[in-house]
Structure formats: structure tokens, C-alpha cells
């Protein structure tokens, strides 16, 4: 009897051990899922954002952002990101070929595929009247600069809450910090000013914004976002190393840049 009881107990332990092992395997070996219900083993990074996708999200007809300009801006952003110069998924685009009376600044959240802002923006007083036509990297020029910038740190200055811009393109905008080319709010950037004067006021080279939105825009793009300022300037399009890069950020031949001047 004792032997039979021992055998029964041993068999019971074996069965319980089997079921315990099976339950553990089910708990610890079944693939986990993220908050969206996706299998964590098969979860992959989102596909790279394309200009076609962005053009559908931000149509030129309703926002004024032309596909050709968006394409150049996205290329510059991706190049800067690959080089480790851009840290955030915020892309700000300024199209200086448009008149100052038109909303020609766009802030895009590339991760969420959303347009966050579409605003008025001023250009430098020596760049032109209602439309900018001349650009410079020179100290004291009071002109706007083109190309890719890193939206850097904020500070409180004579214009209130402001944002430093670090120019990334040698000879094109790399003196932005020295020139104090910053994003700030200004009373002369407003529809009311346009109604009185027929254009926006002009800065000393800064992309100044309407005070009613400047703080919110700055907070969205600061600390590593990209700012891309466009104009169909042949010198810049031919020289920029940000308009055609490989996945590692290495510059490629600029055939694309030379054929990319948007139609007006």
C-alpha cells in the first residue's frame, strides 16, 4: 500500500509539474503586444515618410505649400537627421518666393503626419518689399538667409520669447547665430498691419511671427527641430549639400537640385 501511495503521489507531482510548465510557457513565451495590439516580435519602424504622402496630408490647393518646395524641405530634413544635426520630428518650412501677405510658413509634425501651423512670416528689410528677392549670410546685411537651420535654444530678449537658429549650410546661413537671426514675435506681422500697409513689416533678417502665435510655434520647434527656408536661388540650389544625400547623410550629385526650381 505504501508503495502504491508513493507511486500515486509521484504521478500526481509529475502531472502537476507538467501543467505548471505548460502554463509558464504560455505566459512567458506568448508574444507580447504593444498598446496598439501589435505583436512586439514583428513590430517594425514606420516606413520612411515620402513627399507623396505629405502632399496628400498637406495639399497645396488648401495650404499653399507647393509639392516641389515640400520635396526639397523633406530631403534637407532627412539629410540633417541622418547627420545627427536634427533631433526632433518637427519640420518648419518657409517659402520666401511667396509674398509676405500670404501665409508662407508651415510647421509639420512628421511623426504624427500633421500640419500644426500655417502662419505669416516676415523677411529681412533689405531682402525686398512685399516679396523677398535677395538673400545673404553677411553680418549687418539685414537680409534673410536660405537653407537648413537647426531650431536651437530659447531665450528672453528685446523681442520677448525668442528662438536661436543655427545655420547648417557653410557660406549660406552659417552666420545666423552671429547675425542674431532668430524666431521672435513682432507687431508688424499681423493681418491688421497688412490691411494698413499692403504688406508685412520687415525685420533685420529674422523670420518674425505674429505675436499671437509666436510662443506656441517656438515651443513646438525648439531644441532640435528643422527650419528650411526656400527661394529658387541658383547659387544655393547648386551648392547645398542637404538637397541630395544618401541614407548616411553623405552628399550626392546635385542633379536633383538643378532641376528642382518650382514653377511659380
Write down the pLDDT at residue 153: 98
pLDDT-based confidence at 254, cuts 50/70/90? low
CB 69 within 8 A of CB 110: no
* Residue 48 neighbours by CB under 8 Å, 6+ apart: 78
Predicted confidence band at 37 (pLDDT cuts at 50, 70, 90)?
A: very low
Q: How far apart are CA 264 and CA 62, in angstroms?
A: 16
The strand pair at 182-186 and 114-119 is best described as unpaired
Weakest mean pLDDT among 9-13, 113-117, 169-173, 225-229: 9-13
Distance CA 92, CA 107 (A): 4
* Diameter of the chain measured on Cα atoms: 109
Burial of 235 per CB tally in 10 Å (0-12, 13-18, 19+):
exposed
Residue 12 pLDDT? 54
In tens, the pLDDT along 194-205 reads 999 999 999 999
Nine-digit cell at 155?
531665450
Of residues 188 and 35, more confidently modeled: 188
- In terms of Cα–Cα distance, which of 111, 184, 176 is closest to 144? 176
Closest CA to 218 of 251, 173, 186: 186
- The full length of the chain comes to 264
Going by C-alpha positions, the residue among 228, 262, 221, 264 that lies closest to residue 243 is 228
How would residue 52 be classed by pLDDT, with cut points 50, 70 and 90?
A: very high
CA pair distance 93, 116, nearest whole angstrom: 12
Query: What pLDDT shows up at residue 247?
Result: 84
Q: How far is CA 205 from CA 2, 74, 129, 138, 195, in A?
A: 98, 24, 13, 10, 23
**What pLDDT, on a 0 to 100 scale, did the predictor assign at position 32?**
44
Instruction: Domains for the chain: give ranges and CATH numbers.
Output: 1-44 (no CATH), 51-258 (2.40.440.10)
pLDDT of residue 248: 85
Contact 226, 246 (CB under 8 A): no
- Single pTM value for the model: 0.80
Give the pLDDT mean for 116-134: 98
Confidence of residue 11 (pLDDT cuts 50, 70, 90): low
pLDDT (0 to 100) of residue 40: 40
- The string of pLDDT tens digits covering residues 206-252 is 999 999 999 999 999 999 999 999 999 999 999 999 998 988 888 88
Amino acid at each position: 500500500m505504501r508503495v502504491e501511495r508513493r507511486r500515486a503521489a509521484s504521478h500526481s507531482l509529475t502531472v502537476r509539474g507538467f501543467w505548471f510548465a505548460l502554463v509558464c510557457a504560455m505566459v512567458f513565451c506568448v508574444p507580447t503586444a504593444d498598446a496598439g495590439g501589435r505583436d512586439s516580435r514583428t513590430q517594425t519602424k514606420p516606413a520612411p515618410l515620402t513627399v507623396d504622402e505629405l502632399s496628400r496630408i498637406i495639399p497645396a490647393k488648401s495650404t499653399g505649400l507647393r509639392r516641389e518646395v515640400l520635396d526639397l524641405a523633406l530631403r534637407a530634413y532627412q539629410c540633417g537627421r541622418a547627420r545627427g544635426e536634427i533631433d526632433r520630428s518637427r519640420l518648419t518650412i518657409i517659402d520666401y518666393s511667396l509674398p509676405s501677405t500670404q501665409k508662407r510658413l508651415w510647421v509639420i509634425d512628421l511623426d504624427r503626419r500633421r500640419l500644426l501651423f500655417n502662419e505669416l512670416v516676415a523677411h529681412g528689410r533689405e531682402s525686398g518689399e512685399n516679396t523677398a528677392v535677395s538673400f545673404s549670410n553677411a553680418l549687418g546685411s539685414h537680409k534673410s538667409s536660405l537653407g537648413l537651420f537647426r531650431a536651437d535654444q530659447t531665450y528672453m530678449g528685446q523681442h520677448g520669447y525668442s528662438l536661436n537658429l543655427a545655420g547648417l549650410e557653410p557660406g549660406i546661413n552659417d552666420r545666423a547665430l552671429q547675425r542674431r537671426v532668430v524666431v521672435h514675435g513682432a507687431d508688424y506681422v499681423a493681418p491688421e498691419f497688412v490691411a494698413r500697409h499692403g504688406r508685412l513689416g520687415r525685420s533685420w533678417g529674422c523670420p518674425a511671427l505674429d505675436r499671437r502665435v509666436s510662443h506656441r510655434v517656438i515651443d513646438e520647434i525648439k531644441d532640435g527641430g528643422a527650419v528650411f527656408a526656400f527661394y529658387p536661388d541658383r547659387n544655393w540650389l547648386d551648392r547645398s549639400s542637404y538637397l541630395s544625400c544618401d541614407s548616411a547623410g553623405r552628399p550626392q550629385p546635385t542633379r536633383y537640385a538643378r532641376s528642382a526650381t518650382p514653377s511659380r
